[in-house]
Structure 1
Amino acid sequence: MFISGMDQFQTFVQPAKNLFSTRALNSHNKHKHSNTKILAQRFESVTIYERNQVPSTFAPTSVDLTTNGPSTDLYSVTDLDDFISSEIQPDSSFLAGTSQSVDHLVTLLQHNVPARLRPSRVIKGGSLGKGTAVKGKSDIDMTLIMSKYSNVRDLVRDMPDILSELEESLQHVPEISVDGKTRHAVQISFGESSVDILPAVDVTKEITLDEVYRKMTGSDASVKDFYSASLAPLQTELVRNLPTKVKSLIRLIKYWNKEKVKPMLLSRCPTSYLYEVIIMDRWVKTGRPDSFDMTRAAHDVLTSLKNNRDFKILTTELAKYDRRVADIRAETYIMDPCNPTNDLYNSRFWNWDGVSYVA
């Protein structure tokens, strides 16, 4: 039913043809469950836990993009650009207010933690830092570049104490609600935003990025997961520098994911950054256009998600490393362009069959 390979990529930007007229999304929705036998076979092979994450009644439905009031069907929207602008993209007043709040949070972090934990700088990430926030509660990553540490291994050694001290300190700040912590971050709520505070090291202060990657696949392989926070600013910069239209497409897919995929798959729903990498790869393969038809672009991305077992993504044009460095261990993969050891497709037990079904 669907065009694949370079033909599909080219229609992303070329004038609409029959398959890629406004009817494309309707056709996609109508036929997306045509291979139900194959999909059923796939579900037979998954665990009971995985099956329980997907509703037992699988009546094919269109994708509703709103949860309150009259539903807006993605496949019936005639102007996706207008829909993104009016229904998904935050308005300027929200962004300005959030920006002020984030600046205030940076000040609080610099003055309300023990001296040894005070960062040399704070890097704002997440959807707000990348410029891909959607209306409603947005996520923020605050990367604290720790001035007292020069390498990741030393930071890992002290990480439990660092996170405990950070959590304890922030509990005494009235404007901050501490939600808990993970192995890598302290999680807080601040105003309308969820914030992850990640201690990190300026890994390129003394050595080159290529040398960092060699350490991650060599002497520091046992602590490579803890490099993620230190490399997160590269991810933020990569997405932030995308054309506005590409970031609008990212917003659209993130909103679809939030409204339709996440309620079904819960914690086994892929992360926003994973979708961003998929979209950046599709965009690069079309020649990096500044403008394109949003309907055909959405169709292209949804089709790729439907056929996600075909993913072999390592976008060399964007990757910060040579392909030979990439730690690819599976037939299907999505490599983080900023981290050669991070296969996003296989990094966690995502429910990819569920994503395929919804797409």
Structure 2
Amino acid sequence: MTAEKQGCFWDMPPKREAKFVAMEISISCRTCPRQFGTIHSREHHEKQDHHFTASKRAQMATGFSPNILDYKNPTELKRFVEEKLRPIPGPASIACATEIEAIINLIKECFPLPVAQLIKGGSYIKGTDSQGWSDVDIVLFSEAFENLEDCKTKLPEVINDLGKRLKKSSWASRIMMEKRSQLSLRFHFKCYKNHHGHSFDIMPCYDMLGPAPSIGLKQSFYHKIYLCNDTDEIQLYSMSLLQYQVEFIKASTMRVKDLIRLVKH
């Protein structure tokens, strides 16, 4: 810039103010809330605190958005999961468990068909829930369903009836119905003094395996799933496997459960 142009520039207060503001605009870190006055100071912070390499900074320059694995070492990642993702034990957690059981009992009471077996699943039951989010899956097997086709035919009416009964219950003010799927009733349950909530997915189904399936029955069942091309039918098949899924995850180590939490995060 020439001296003449410089003089003209500084003689114009609005432009000088714009230049001053521009110099003061802060630059945010691309992975945390910290702000800096220059790109250089931001990159120094990202390198020191988030372990950004030159290649990662180059990726960021092209609009690449890193996930948590890109800037935390194993120790930091472990601490993040323990402090930010794992549910906090204590009185609130105990009260929460009591209320979850109470709403599950209410669902069973309101179910319009006789219940042969109730299976509980979801992240809350499997122990993979996090501080900010959890879901509860409930599968209700009924002998009123003669077979899978009969179940598919009766499901819309059964789900609709269950929803109406829950809306008329004493817990109705704490149940916020969500958009119903073709195979399940979904709602958000406001839990423990309305401090947080849980997403419920209620799925009535025909029990295709029974309480003690033989190895041959299991193999035949898996073969049917393998050959099935109907998405809804596959989901109905999977309901019969919920109990085994829950048992597998609950028996897993805390590291496996933390990995599931981290993947969901």
TM-score if structure 1 supplies the norm length?
A: 0.49
Q: Is structure 2 residue 63 aligned with structure 1 residue 59?
A: yes
Choose the corresponding residue for 1:168, options 164, 169, 175. Answer: 164
Partner of 1:133: 129
Q: Is structure 2 residue 204 aligned with structure 1 residue 199?
A: yes
Q: How does 1:191-270 map to 2 (within 5 A)?
A: 191=190, 192-205=197-210, 208-217=217-226, 222=230, 223-255=233-265
Partner of 1:149: 145
- Give, in angstroms, the shift of residue 27 of structure 1: 6.5
Q: Are the structure 2 counterparts of residues 211 and 82 from structure 1 closer, same or farther at C-alpha, using a change threshold of 3 Å?
A: same
Contact 2:137 2:202 in 1 (8 A): yes
Structure 1: runs of 5 or more not aligned: 1-22, 37-56, 66-72, 256-359
Partner of 1:80: 77
Contact 2:52 2:71 in 1 (8 A): no
- In 2, the alpha carbon distance for the partners of 1:149 and 1:29 equals 61
The number of equivalent residue pairs is 201
Partner of 1:179: 178
- Give, in angstroms, the shift of residue 126 of structure 1: 1.0
Q: Are the structure 2 counterparts of residues 32 and 182 from structure 1 closer, same or farther at C-alpha, using a change threshold of 3 Å?
A: farther
Q: Is structure 2 residue 117 aligned with structure 1 residue 121?
A: yes
Alpha-carbon RMSD: 3.2
Q: Are the structure 2 counterparts of residues 145 and 98 from structure 1 closer, same or farther at C-alpha, using a change threshold of 3 Å?
A: farther
Q: Deviations over 1:98-157 (max 9, x none)?
A: 32122101210122232xx24223221111111110112311111112232253222112
Q: Deviations over 1:313-358 (max 9, x none)?
A: xxxxxxxxxxxxxxxxxxxxxxxxxxxxxxxxxxxxxxxxxxxxxx
- In 1, the alpha carbon distance for the partners of 2:54 and 2:127 equals 29
- Give, in angstroms, the shift of residue 61 of structure 1: 4.0
Contact 1:132 1:250 in 2 (8 A): yes
Contact 2:209 2:240 in 1 (8 A): no
* Higher RCO (CA-CA < 8 Å; seq separation 6+): 1
Q: Is structure 2 residue 116 aligned with structure 1 residue 112?
A: no
Q: One-letter code of the match for 1:160?
A: P
Partner of 1:269: none
- Give, in angstroms, the shift of residue 90 of structure 1: 0.4
| Secondary structure in structure 2 of the residue aligned to 1:79 | helix
Q: Is structure 2 residue 87 aligned with structure 1 residue 90?
A: yes
Give the fraction of aligned pairs with identical amino acids, expressed as a percent. Answer: 24
Q: Are the structure 2 counterparts of residues 74 and 229 from structure 1 closer, same or farther at C-alpha, using a change threshold of 3 Å?
A: farther
Q: One-letter code of the match for 1:214?
A: H
TM-score if structure 2 supplies the norm length?
A: 0.64
- Give, in angstroms, the shift of residue 77 of structure 1: 7.4
Structure 2: runs of 5 or more not aligned: 1-47, 191-196
- In 2, the alpha carbon distance for the partners of 1:28 and 1:167 equals 54
Q: Deviations over 1:263-298 (max 9, x none)?
A: xxxxxxxxxxxxxxxxxxxxxxxxxxxxxxxxxxxx
